[in-house]
């Protein structure tokens, strides 16, 4: 029997030419977005001042199963894709498990994450519409970096509102974004009304993703030829990220494999939504009903495992539409934890709905356990994982150890979303034994739930 290779790549010809729209196969749709003022279902016209036209259409499209990837975006993808599907032989050996562990590695580009997949698409559509600039927010910095790369390529100006604590803690992230020609403003800032109000109410605050979103939207809507773009949570982002799962499925087919378990870390849900899409399709149509889908989130920001399934704002300043999702409340301020990309109060409405309807499950993990898995993985597989990605590694390892107990040789697929070179303070704090695990109390969560908007 020939051995399965370490790395499986697609050829350029084999790369997907269409994204997969999971909503077209869902039995029930996620609830519609509501207007923040009127609480009525949002219309395309309501969204047009904020988002590019084509992206509004994609956001509302729940019927077209496949959507063409524009030629220009396919060309851009070819610079850093296809991403390899890697068999974690060394990790399997170290765990002494009969399980087969595969991971899809999305960290092989300068942004160090999968976020470039959606950045490329969003910037392309903005350019095509004749817009000249974009605004966005960034927390840990991966999205801001990815977007600055795509804006440099397609020729658009970009302003990034970066959560102030990250801005101060990660000067090199800022430098990379500057290198690609974008402006970076620490948020909350005095450049917007909402920023000034937040600063007045919370002087000295380190900011949050929710604040930065409000600032970026305000700036976009006050500037000609400018729109706002978001790197996760939205349906359009899950659509663009479907390339991860489509490529994974083709690669696994080449190997004669199919996953029993699909695992991804979940911040806003875009990488997991993208990875699992093509496989969830088979669960929804009944051809592969048994596949186990697992979302992994930090115990410090547990939106699926401890949140409410309710309508909520996507930002702190309450200027975004309301989405029905698993949420900790838009006022929730996660404690300082080191997986910046997973510190968001809400979750993709698509994933929220699938979770609510029992198509997938979720687990939360503590960060010291996450870093333990990250270090073990790095030593075996030679890739230094992003702390976010290491959440998925943790659960992949736990599932593989379970297989060792039971003797089952399950096939595990997880998403390795990125690399952790900008997170060395976190690694150092773990290695020096200084990392702690903070888990919010029920009382703290309740305080935040109390602020959820009351919808009819
Ligand atoms: C942003 C990010 C995540 C989390 O975002 P999702 O939308 O949930 O995928 C995970 N990993 C990395 C490396 C990221 O940059």
Question: Would you say the pTM of this structure is higher than 0.85?
Answer: yes
Q: Could you give the 3-state DSSP secondary structure of residue 424?
A: helix
Q: Could you give the 3-state DSSP secondary structure of residue 263?
A: strand
pLDDT at 5: 95
For 353-373, write each residue's pLDDT tens digit. Answer: 999 999 999 999 999 999 999
- How many whole angstroms separate alpha carbon 17 and alpha carbon 71? 8
DSSP 8-state code for residue 25: G
pLDDT at 381 over 60: yes
For 284-306, write each residue's pLDDT tens digit. Answer: 999 999 999 999 999 999 999 99
- Among residues 282, 281, 288, 327, the alpha carbon closest in space to that of 304 is found at 327
In short, whether 389's Cβ falls inside 6 Å of ligand 1 is yes
- How many whole angstroms separate alpha carbon 152 and alpha carbon 367? 35
**% of the chain residues with pLDDT over 70:** 98
pLDDT at 102: 98
Asked whether the beta carbons of 88 and 97 are under 8 A apart, the reply is: no
Indicate which atom in ligand 1 lies nearest the CA of residue 107: 13
In short, whether 346's Cβ falls inside 6 Å of ligand 1 is no
In short, whether 270's Cβ falls inside 6 Å of ligand 1 is yes
Q: How confident is the model at residue 2 (pLDDT cuts 50, 70, 90)?
A: low
Strand order in the sheet with 361-365: 7-8, 85-87, 100-105, 411-416, 261-265, 292-298, 361-365
Which of 136-140, 158-162, 267-271, 391-395 is predicted with the least confidence, judged by mean pLDDT?
A: 136-140
Centre of ligand 1 from the C-alpha of residue 389, in Å: 7
Q: Could you give the 3-state DSSP secondary structure of residue 444?
A: helix
């Amino acid at each position: 029997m020939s051995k399965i290779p370490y790395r499986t790549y697609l050829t350029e010809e084999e790369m997907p030419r269409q994204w997969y729209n999971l909503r077209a196969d869902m039995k029930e749709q996620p609830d519609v977005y509501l207007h923040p003022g009127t609480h009525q279902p949002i219309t395309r016209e309501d969204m047009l001042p904020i988002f590019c036209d084509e992206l509004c259409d994609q956001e509302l499209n729940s019927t077209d199963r496949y959507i063409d990837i524009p030629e220009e975006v396919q060309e851009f993808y070819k610079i850093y894709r296809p991403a390899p599907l890697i068999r974690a032989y060394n990790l399997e050996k170290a765990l002494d498990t009969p399980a087969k562990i595969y991971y899809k590695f999305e960290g092989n580009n300068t942004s160090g994450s999968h976020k470039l997949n959606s950045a490329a698409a969003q910037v392309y559509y903005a350019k095509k519409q004749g817009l000249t600039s974009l605004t966005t927010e960034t927390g840990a910095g991966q999205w801001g970096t990815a977007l600055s790369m795509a804006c440099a390529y397609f020729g658009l100006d970009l302003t990034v509102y970066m959560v102030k604590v990250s801005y101060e803690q990660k000067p090199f992230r800022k430098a990379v974004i500057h290198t690609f020609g974008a402006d970076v403003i620490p948020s909350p800032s005095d450049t917007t009304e909402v920023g000034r109000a937040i600063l007045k109410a919370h002087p000295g605050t380190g900011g949050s993703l929710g604040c930065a979103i409000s600032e970026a939207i305000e700036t976009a809507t006050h500037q000609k030829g400018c729109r706002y773009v978001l790197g996760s949570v939205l349906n359009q982002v899950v659509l663009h990220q479907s390339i991860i799962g489509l490529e994974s499925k083709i690669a696994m087919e080449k190997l004669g494999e199919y996953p029993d378990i699909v695992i991804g870390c979940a911040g806003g849900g875009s990488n997991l939504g993208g990875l699992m899409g093509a496989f969830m399709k088979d669960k929804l149509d009944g051809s592969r009903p048994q596949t186990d889908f697992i979302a992994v989130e930090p115990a410090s920001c547990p939106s699926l495992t401890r949140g409410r399934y309710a309508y909520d704002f996507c930002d702190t300043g309450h200027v975004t539409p309301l989405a029905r999702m698993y949420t900790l409340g838009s006022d929730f301020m996660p404690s300082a934890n080191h997986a910046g990309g997973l510190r968001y109060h809400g979750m993709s409405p698509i994933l929220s709905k699938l979770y609510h309807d029992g198509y997938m499950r979720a687990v939360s993990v503590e960060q010291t356990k996450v870093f333990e898995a990250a270090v073990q993985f790095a030593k075996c597989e030679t890739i230094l994982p992003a702390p976010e990605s290491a959440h998925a590694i943790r659960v992949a390892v736990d599932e593989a150890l379970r297989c060792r107990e039971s003797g089952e040789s399950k096939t595990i697929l997880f998403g390795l979303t990125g690399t952790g070179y900008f997170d060395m303070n976190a690694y150092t704090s773990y290695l020096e034994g200084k990392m702690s695990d903070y888990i919010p109390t029920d009382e703290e969560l309740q305080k935040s739930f109390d602020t959820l908007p009351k919808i009819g």
